[in-house]
């Protein structure tokens, strides 16, 4: 079965308290259509510095999954 792929952009805001992800589809003409928004608690960061990469990656994945 053929799968249709669309042009998308993803934005990440990685903060000490939370991680936010936004997914948007790029429409013809360059306009953006919001496709999803995800928020997850930020784990693995302390004062803006990654102290546990595995926990940070897990938080990012959670925010992205919620945004899908």
- pLDDT at position 6 is 77
- pLDDT at position 68 is 87
Q: Which CATH number fits the domain that encloses residue 18?
A: 3.30.420.40
- pLDDT at position 5 is 64
Residues 32, 55: Cα–Cα separation, whole Å: 31
Asked, for residue 61, whether it belongs to a domain, the answer is yes
**What's the chain's average pLDDT?**
92
Q: What is the pLDDT of residues 18-47, one digit of tens each?
A: 999 999 999 989 899 999 999 999 999 998
Domains of the chain: total: 1
Asked, for residue 2, whether it belongs to a domain, the answer is no
Residues 6+ apart with CB under 8 A from 13: 19, 20, 21
């Amino acid at each position: 079965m053929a799968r249709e792929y669309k042009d998308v952009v993803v934005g990440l805001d990685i903060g000490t308290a939370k991680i936010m992800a936004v997914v948007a589809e790029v429409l013809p003409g360059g306009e953006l259509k919001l496709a999803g928004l995800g928020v997850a608690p930020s784990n693995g960061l302390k004062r803006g510095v990654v102290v546990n990469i595995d926990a940070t990656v897990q938080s990012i994945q959670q925010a992205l999954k919620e945004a899908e």
